[in-house]
C-alpha cells in the first residue's frame, strides 16, 4: 500500500514537472489577442506611431510571424537597441507586450590609463568606425577596434576595458570611459634583408632600426613611399616585400624584407616617328611607374590603333627589351606602313533616299585618312538610318579597292596610297507597323499602354524602338507596384514582310504595396516635413518613379547631407516597408570668401577737368554669410549675407586745390532673407528679403534700402513661376553726368521711392548653373511700379532672356553657348511743377507755374550695356546709342536694350580652357528709338580656369566699329577679369 502511494505521488510529481516544463515553453499561438502593450525602457507608453508598426492586432489570433514582422519594422526605425515580444496570458486574456530598449548613444568618450598612442589617434579610430555618437551597446566593439589599432601600432599586448558611466549631472546618454593599458611596445627584432638594395640604404630609407618601437602602419606607409620613389626614379620593376613575424618571446617583431631595385627602365622608339606627346600618352611606363607585360601589350595596341586612325592601314608595332649594365631598355619598333587616303566613295542601291540625305551617315570622305573603323561606323549609321524608315532587313555592304597612288608625302618615306570605298545598299522591304496588341495585361488597360508606345499602326517599324516600348510598358507596371513584371514583344511579319503585328506579352506578377513608411535619422526635421515630400504612401502600390521622385524632392530641400530610400522585404511577398534614412546637414552654415574683379572703368580726373578717362581697376571683394536652416523643424531658414568691395574713388578737387583720391569701401551689400517653404500647405515657397546696399555704376553711385516679398512655385522640375512685391528707396550720389545732360527725372528725384509688383517665368534645363554644357535657360520678367501702390514714380519694365548651351560633336568637350537678351521699359507720364533753387514754383510767361511732364525711368532702373557680362568689347556701361551717353562719355542708360552673345568654349589643358566670342548689342534712349541697324558688335577671346568656386575668367574684347565718345576714341582692347561664365 505504501509503495502504491509512493508510486502515485511520484507519478503526480513527474506529471506536474513535465507540465510545468511544457507550459513554460509553449507559445500561445492561435489564441485571440486581447490587448497590445508597448514598454519603452521599462515604462508603458502609448505611441500611435509605434502602434502603427505593430502587425499584431487585438481580436485576431496570435501569430509569431506578426511578432517577427513587427520587430523588423521597429528595428528598422533605428531608434531601438533591442525589441522583445512577450505574451502574458492571465484572467484578462492574452496581452502581447512589445518591450523596446532605446538605442542610447554615448555622450562622450573618455580615455584613461596608459594610452600608448595620443588620445586623438584613439578617438579618431572610434570616430571613423562608429561615428561621433556611437551606440552605448557597441562598447565591446569599440574596445575591439581600439585593441586592433593599438596592435597595429606596436602595442600588441594592449588591454582595453570599456565602462559606461551615467552622466547624471548633465543627463542624456552615458559617458564611455575606456581604460587602456597599452603594455610594453613591441620592438623591431631581427631584420633580414635580401635582394639587390644595400641593407644600410634600405634601412635608412625605411627609417628602421632593431630595438626601436614597431609601428606596422607607419612602416608599411614608408615601404609604399620608398617603392614609389624607386619607380619614379626609373626603377619601374622595383619590388619591396615586407613580412613581419612575432618573435618567439612575443616582445618583438622580426622582419624579413625582400628588396629588389630592379633595373632602370628606359623607353626608346625606333622606326617611324610618333609625336612625343602621343608617345607619352599611349606608352605610360614612366607615368605609371610600371613596365609589366600587360602594360607593354596595351601600349603596343594603343600605338597601332592610333596609327590606324591616322590612315596607316596596316601598322606594325613590336617591342623588345634588352638589359645592359642594370639598365632595361624597352624598344618600341614602329612601322607605320603606307598611309592610305580615301579615294572615291560611290554609293549604289539607294532608291528611297537621295545621296544628299545619306551624306550625314557616310563618315568616310574622299581625301580623308582611310580608317577601317570608320567603315564599320558608316555601315552602322546607314543601316540605322534605313531602319528608322522601316527597312528592317536593310543590308549595307562596304567594299574597298586600291585607287591611284597619291605619291610620296613630303619629307617622309612612306608612300600615300588611295583606297576607293564602294557602298552598296540593298534596301529590301519597307515594313510598317500593323496591329499592336497586349496580352494578359489585367492591371493596366490597353489605352494606357498605347499612350506610351513609340510604335503605332502605320508608322515604320524600327526594332530599337520596340525595345524602348517594352521598357515603357515595363515602367507602367513598375509604377503600379508590379516590380516583378516581365514584358516580351513578339513581332510577327506578314508573308510579304510589308507589315508587322506586334503583341506585347505581359507577365504581371504580384502587385507590391507599401506596408509602412519608416523615417529615420531626422532629429531636428519634423516627420511631417519629410512626409510632405514623399510620393510613396502606406497602402499604395510601390511605384518606382515615386521612389525616385521622393528622393529627389528630399534632396532638394537642402536639409540633408544624405537621403536614402530602401525597401525592406518582410512577411508576405507583396508588402514592402519603405525605409527613408536621412542624415541631417548642420543647421548653421557660415561662408566666408573673397575675390577680385578687374575691368575698365570710366572716371573723371582732376588732371583734365571736365573730362573722363578709362582706367583698368581691380576691385577686391569679400563676403561673409551666415545662415540657419530648418527652423522649428519645418525647413524654414534665415540667412544674412554681407559683401563689401574696395574700389577706387573718383578724384575730388578740394577747395584748397588739392585732389582727394583713394580707395574706399565703395560697394557693400547687406541682405537678410527668411524662407518659408510650402506656405499654407501649397507648393509655393515664400521669401522675405530686406537689403541695404551701395553700388558703383559708371556714371553714378547709388544707395538703396529695399524690402521684398517673393512667392515662387516650381511648376515642374524645370519651370518656375515667381511673383514679387518690392518696396525700395534709392538715392543717387556722386553723379558724373554733365548737368545739362541729366534727365529731368534724375534732377527731380535724386532720391526716389519705388513700389512695384513683378512676375517671372523661368525655364531652366541647364545641366550646371555655374558652367553649363547643355540645356537652355529661358526667362520672361515683367515689372510694374506705380504711384497707386506707394511709389513716387511709375513705369513698366519687361526683360526677356534666352540662353542655349550645346556640346559640339567630337571627342573634345567643346561647348557652343549663345544668348539673347531684350529689355524694354517706359515711364508713366507725370506732371511736375518746376521749382527754383529755393523750391518755389517757377512761373511761365503767362504767370502760371510751369508744369513739366516726366515719363522717364529712374536711373537705377534704366538699362546699361557694355562690360564683362554683356558686350565685352566695351567698358562697363559704356555701350549705348549717342542719346544715352553724355558729352564726356558718361552713360545715362536707356529704356531699351538688346544683347546678343555667341561663344565657343574649349578645353586646352587640364583645368584651363579657352573661349572665342562674338557679342553684339546696344542701349537706346526710348523703345521707339530701337534700331537693329544700330546694334554694335565686338569679338574677342579669353581664358578660363576651372576652379572649385567656378570658372575664373579673363576676357579681352575688341569693339568692331570704334567710335569717338566724349572726344576720345573708344578703348581697344578691353580687359575683363571675373569669376563665372559671361552668360
Partner 1 sequence: MMIAIRRGCAPGLSLWLFACVVAAQTRDVLLDRVLAIVSGEVITLSDVRAATTLGLVTPRAGGDPTARALSTLIERQLMLGEANRYAAPDPPSGAVERRLEEVRQHVSSTGDVEVTLRRTGMTAGRLRDFIRDDLRVDSYLDQRFGGAAQPTEEEVAAYYRAHQSQFAQEGLARFEQASALARDRLRDERRQVLVADWLERLRRRADIRELYLPSSS
* Residues lying near partner 1 in the complex (CB under 8 A): 2, 5-6, 8-10, 12-13, 16-17, 19-20, 23-30, 62-65, 67-68, 71-72, 75, 81-91, 96-97, 137-138, 141, 569, 571-573
Minimum separation from the CB atom of position 135 to partner 1 (A)? 8
Which residues, listed in sequence order, are joined to residue 574 by a DSSP beta bridge? none
Minimum separation from the CB atom of position 160 to partner 1 (A)? 17
Q: Which is nearer to partner 1, 137 or 620 (CB)?
A: 137
Distance, in Å, from the CA atom of 288 to the CA atom of 299, rounded to the nearest integer, reads 12
- Asked if residue 627 lies in contact with residue 589, where contact means CB atoms within 8 angstroms, the answer is yes
- Asked if residue 943 lies in contact with residue 916, where contact means CB atoms within 8 angstroms, the answer is no
Minimum separation from the CB atom of position 21 to partner 1 (A)? 9
Task: Determine what percent of the chain falls in helix, strand and coil, rounding each to the nearest 5.
Answer: 20, 45, 35
Q: Which is nearer to partner 1, 96 or 687 (CB)?
A: 96
Distance, in Å, from the CA atom of 710 to the CA atom of 757, rounded to the nearest integer, reads 10
Minimum separation from the CB atom of position 99 to partner 1 (A)? 8
Question: Which residue's entry shows cell 578737387?
Answer: 653
- Asked if residue 559 lies in contact with residue 585, where contact means CB atoms within 8 angstroms, the answer is yes
Instruction: List b or e across 42-61, with b for residues whose CB sees 16 or more CB atoms inside 10 angstroms.
Output: eeeeeeeebeebbbbeeeee
Minimum separation from the CB atom of position 525 to partner 1 (A)? 22
Q: Are strands 80-90 and 43-45 parallel, antiparallel or unpaired?
A: unpaired
Instruction: List b or e across 607-646, with b for residues whose CB sees 16 or more CB atoms inside 10 angstroms.
Output: eeeeebbbeeeebebeeeeebebbeebebbbebebebbbe
- Asked whether the bond before 973 is cis by omega within 30 degrees of 0, the reply is yes
Minimum separation from the CB atom of position 105 to partner 1 (A)? 14
Minimum separation from the CB atom of position 144 to partner 1 (A)? 9
Minimum separation from the CB atom of position 554 to partner 1 (A)? 20
Minimum separation from the CB atom of position 12 to partner 1 (A)? 4
Minimum separation from the CB atom of position 490 to partner 1 (A)? 23
Our CA angle for 445, 448, 453, nearest 5°, is 120
Q: Which is nearer to partner 1, 67 or 875 (CB)?
A: 67
Q: Which is nearer to partner 1, 76 or 791 (CB)?
A: 76
Q: Which is nearer to partner 1, 89 or 883 (CB)?
A: 89
Our CA angle for 737, 739, 741, nearest 5°, is 65
Helices and strands (DSSP H and E) totals, the chain: 17, 43
Q: Which is nearer to partner 1, 85 or 784 (CB)?
A: 85
Q: Which is nearer to partner 1, 3 or 716 (CB)?
A: 3
- Asked if residue 925 lies in contact with residue 895, where contact means CB atoms within 8 angstroms, the answer is yes
Q: Which is nearer to partner 1, 564 or 934 (CB)?
A: 564
Distance, in Å, from the CA atom of 52 to the CA atom of 101, rounded to the nearest integer, reads 18
Distance, in Å, from the CA atom of 76 to the CA atom of 517, rounded to the nearest integer, reads 10
Minimum separation from the CB atom of position 37 to partner 1 (A)? 11
Minimum separation from the CB atom of position 218 to partner 1 (A)? 22
Smallest CA-to-CA distance from 797 within 907, 896, 717, 902 is with 896
- Asked if residue 538 lies in contact with residue 580, where contact means CB atoms within 8 angstroms, the answer is no
- Asked if residue 600 lies in contact with residue 613, where contact means CB atoms within 8 angstroms, the answer is no
- Asked if residue 905 lies in contact with residue 944, where contact means CB atoms within 8 angstroms, the answer is yes
Q: Which is nearer to partner 1, 84 or 245 (CB)?
A: 84
Q: Which is nearer to partner 1, 72 or 822 (CB)?
A: 72
Q: Which is nearer to partner 1, 357 or 573 (CB)?
A: 573
Minimum separation from the CB atom of position 1 to partner 1 (A)? 10
Q: Which is nearer to partner 1, 574 or 738 (CB)?
A: 574
Minimum separation from the CB atom of position 512 to partner 1 (A)? 12
Our CA angle for 107, 108, 112, nearest 5°, is 145
Phi, psi of 436 (to 5 degrees): -115, 125
Minimum separation from the CB atom of position 515 to partner 1 (A)? 14
Minimum separation from the CB atom of position 116 to partner 1 (A)? 22
Q: Which is nearer to partner 1, 384 or 508 (CB)?
A: 508
Minimum separation from the CB atom of position 180 to partner 1 (A)? 21
> What region does 554 belong to: left with phi over 0, alpha with psi -120 to 50, or beta?
alpha
Instruction: Give the Cβ contact number of residue 840 at 10 Å.
Output: 11
**How many residues can be counted in the chain?**
983
Distance, in Å, from the CA atom of 629 to the CA atom of 639, rounded to the nearest integer, reads 8
Q: Which is nearer to partner 1, 520 or 927 (CB)?
A: 520
Q: Which is nearer to partner 1, 575 or 635 (CB)?
A: 575
Instruction: Give the Cβ contact number of residue 548 at 10 Å.
Output: 12
- Asked if residue 214 lies in contact with residue 186, where contact means CB atoms within 8 angstroms, the answer is yes
Phi, psi of 978 (to 5 degrees): -160, 180
Q: Is 24 exposed, middle or buried (0-12, 13-18, 19+ CB in 10 A)?
A: exposed
Q: Which is nearer to partner 1, 511 or 738 (CB)?
A: 511
Distances (CA, A) of 5 to 14, 16, 544, 643, 748: 14, 16, 74, 102, 125
Q: State the DSSP H helix or E strand holding residue 122, giving kind and residue range, or none if neither.
A: helix 119-130
Q: Which is nearer to partner 1, 8 or 833 (CB)?
A: 8
Q: Which is nearer to partner 1, 62 or 106 (CB)?
A: 62
- Asked if residue 938 lies in contact with residue 874, where contact means CB atoms within 8 angstroms, the answer is yes
Minimum separation from the CB atom of position 34 to partner 1 (A)? 13
Amino acid at each position: 500500500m505504501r509503495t502504491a502511494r509512493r508510486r502515485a505521488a511520484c507519478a503526480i510529481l513527474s506529471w506536474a514537472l513535465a507540465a510545468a516544463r511544457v507550459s513554460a515553453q509553449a507559445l500561445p499561438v492561435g489564441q485571440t489577442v486581447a490587448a497590445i502593450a508597448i514598454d519603452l525602457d521599462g515604462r508603458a507608453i502609448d505611441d500611435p506611431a509605434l502602434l502603427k508598426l505593430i502587425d499584431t492586432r487585438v481580436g485576431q489570433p496570435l501569430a509569431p510571424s506578426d511578432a517577427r514582422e513587427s520587430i523588423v519594422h521597429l528595428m528598422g526605425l533605428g531608434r531601438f537597441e533591442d525589441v522583445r515580444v512577450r505574451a502574458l496570458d492571465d484572467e484578462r486574456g492574452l496581452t502581447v507586450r512589445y518591450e523596446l530598449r532605446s538605442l542610447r548613444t554615448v555622450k562622450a568618450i573618455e580615455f584613461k590609463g596608459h594610452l600608448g598612442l595620443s588620445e586623438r589617434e584613439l578617438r579618431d579610430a572610434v570616430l571613423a568606425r562608429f561615428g561621433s555618437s556611437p551606440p552605448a551597446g557597441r562598447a565591446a566593439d569599440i574596445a575591439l577596434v581600439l585593441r586592433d589599432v593599438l596592435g597595429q601600432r606596436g602595442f600588441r599586448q594592449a588591454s582595453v576595458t570599456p565602462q559606461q558611466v551615467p552622466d547624471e549631472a548633465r543627463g542624456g546618454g552615458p559617458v564611455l570611459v575606456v581604460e587602456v593599458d597599452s603594455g610594453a611596445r613591441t620592438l623591431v627584432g631581427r631584420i633580414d634583408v635580401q635582394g639587390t638594395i644595400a641593407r644600410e640604404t634600405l634601412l635608412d630609407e625605411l627609417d628602421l632600426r632593431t630595438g626601436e618601437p614597431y609601428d606596422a602602419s607607419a612602416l608599411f606607409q614608408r615601404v609604399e613611399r620608398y617603392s614609389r620613389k624607386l619607380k619614379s626614379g626609373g626603377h619601374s620593376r622595383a619590388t619591396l616585400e615586407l613580412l613581419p613575424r612575432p618573435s618567439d618571446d612575443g616582445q618583438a617583431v622580426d622582419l624579413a624584407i625582400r628588396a629588389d631595385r630592379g633595373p632602370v627602365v628606359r623607353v626608346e622608339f625606333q622606326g617611324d616617328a610618333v609625336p612625343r606627346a602621343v608617345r607619352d600618352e599611349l606608352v605610360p611606363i614612366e607615368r605609371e611607374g610600371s613596365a609589366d607585360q600587360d602594360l607593354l601589350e596595351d601600349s603596343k595596341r594603343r600605338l597601332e590603333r592610333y596609327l590606324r586612325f591616322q590612315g596607316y592601314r596596316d601598322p606594325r608595332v613590336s617591342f623588345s627589351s634588352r638589359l645592359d649594365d642594370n639598365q632595361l631598355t624597352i624598344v618600341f619598333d614602329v612601322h607605320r606602313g603606307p598611309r592610305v587616303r580615301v579615294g572615291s566613295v560611290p554609293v549604289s542601291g539607294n532608291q528611297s533616299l537621295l545621296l544628299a540625305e545619306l551624306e550625314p551617315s557616310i563618315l568616310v570622305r574622299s581625301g580623308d585618312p582611310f580608317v577601317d573603323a570608320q567603315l564599320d561606323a558608316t555601315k552602322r549609321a546607314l543601316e540605322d538610318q534605313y531602319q528608322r524608315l522601316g527597312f528592317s532587313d536593310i543590308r549595307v555592304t562596304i567594299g574597298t579597292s586600291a585607287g591611284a597612288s597619291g605619291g610620296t608625302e613630303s619629307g617622309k618615306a612612306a608612300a600615300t596610297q588611295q583606297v576607293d570605298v564602294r557602298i552598296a545598299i540593298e534596301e529590301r522591304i519597307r515594313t510598317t507597323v500593323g496591329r499592336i496588341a497586349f496580352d494578359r495585361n489585367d492591371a493596366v488597360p490597353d489605352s494606357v499602354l498605347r499612350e506610351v508606345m513609340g510604335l503605332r499602326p502605320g508608322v515604320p517599324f524600327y526594332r530599337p524602338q520596340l525595345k524602348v516600348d517594352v521598357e515603357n510598358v515595363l515602367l507602367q507596371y513598375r509604377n503600379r507596384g508590379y516590380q516583378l513584371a516581365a514584358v516580351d514583344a513578339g513581332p510577327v511579319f506578314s508573308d510579304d514582310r510589308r507589315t508587322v503585328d506586334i503583341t506585347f506579352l505581359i507577365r504581371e506578377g504580384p502587385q507590391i504595396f507599401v506596408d509602412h513608411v519608416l523615417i529615420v535619422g531626422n532629429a531636428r526635421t519634423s516627420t511631417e516635413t519629410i512626409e510632405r515630400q514623399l510620393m510613396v504612401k502606406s497602402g499604395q502600390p510601390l511605384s518606382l518613379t515615386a521612389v525616385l521622385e521622393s528622393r529627389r524632392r528630399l534632396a532638394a530641400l537642402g536639409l540633408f547631407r544624405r537621403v536614402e530610400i530602401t525597401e525592406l522585404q518582410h512577411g508576405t511577398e507583396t508588402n514592402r516597408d519603405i525605409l527613408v534614412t536621412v542624415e541631417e546637414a548642420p543647421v548653421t552654415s557660415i561662408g566666408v570668401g573673397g575675390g577680385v574683379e578687374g575691368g575698365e572703368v570710366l572716371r573723371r580726373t582732376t588732371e583734365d577737368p571736365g573730362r573722363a578717362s578709362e582706367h583698368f581697376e581691380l576691385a577686391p571683394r569679400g563676403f561673409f554669410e551666415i545662415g540657419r536652416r530648418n527652423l522649428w523643424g519645418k525647413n524654414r531658414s534665415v540667412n544674412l549675407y554681407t559683401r563689401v568691395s574696395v574700389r577706387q574713388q573718383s578724384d575730388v578737387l578740394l577747395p584748397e586745390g588739392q585732389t582727394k583720391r583713394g580707395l574706399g569701401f565703395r560697394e557693400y551689400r547687406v541682405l537678410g532673407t527668411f524662407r518659408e517653404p510650402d506656405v499654407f500647405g501649397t507648393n509655393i515657397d515664400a521669401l522675405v528679403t530686406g537689403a541695404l546696399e551701395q553700388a558703383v555704376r559708371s556714371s553714378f553711385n547709388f544707395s538703396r534700402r529695399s524690402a521684398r516679398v517673393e512667392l515662387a512655385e516650381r511648376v515642374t522640375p524645370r519651370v518656375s513661376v515667381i511673383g514679387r512685391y518690392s518696396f525700395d528707396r534709392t538715392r543717387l550720389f556722386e553723379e558724373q553726368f554733365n548737368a545739362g545732360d541729366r534727365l529731368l527725372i534724375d534732377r527731380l528725384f535724386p532720391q526716389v521711392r519705388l513700389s512695384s509688383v513683378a512676375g517671372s517665368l523661368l525655364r531652366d534645363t541647364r545641366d550646371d548653373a555655374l558652367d553649363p554644357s547643355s540645356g537652355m535657360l529661358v526667362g520672361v520678367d515683367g515689372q510694374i511700379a506705380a504711384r497707386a501702390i506707394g511709389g513716387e514714380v511709375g513705369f513698366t519694365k519687361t526683360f526677356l532672356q534666352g540662353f542655349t548651351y550645346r556640346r559640339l560633336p567630337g571627342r573634345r568637350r567643346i561647348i557652343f553657348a549663345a544668348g539673347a537678351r531684350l529689355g524694354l521699359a517706359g515711364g508713366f507720364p507725370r506732371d511736375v511743377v518746376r521749382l527754383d533753387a529755393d523750391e518755389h514754383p517757377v512761373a511761365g510767361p503767362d504767370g502760371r507755374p510751369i508744369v513739366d511732364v516726366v515719363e522717364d525711368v529712374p536711373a537705377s532702373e534704366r538699362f546699361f550695356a557694355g562690360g564683362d557680362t554683356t558686350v565685352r568689347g566695351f567698358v562697363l556701361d559704356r555701350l549705348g546709342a549717342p542719346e544715352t551717353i553724355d558729352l564726356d562719355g558718361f552713360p545715362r542708360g536707356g529704356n531699351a536694350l538688346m544683347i546678343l552673345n555667341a561663344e565657343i568654349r574649349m578645353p586646352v589643358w587640364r583645368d584651363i580652357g579657352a573661349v572665342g566670342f562674338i557679342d553684339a548689342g546696344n542701349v537706346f534712349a526710348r523703345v521707339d528709338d530701337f534700331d537693329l541697324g544700330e546694334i554694335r558688335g565686338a569679338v574677342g577671346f579669353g581664358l578660363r580656369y576651372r576652379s572649385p568656386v567656378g570658372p575664373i575668367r579673363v576676357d579681352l574684347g575688341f569693339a568692331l566699329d570704334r567710335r569717338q565718345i566724349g572726344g576720345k576714341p573708344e578703348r581697344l582692347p578691353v580687359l575683363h577679369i571675373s569669376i563665372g561664365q559671361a552668360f
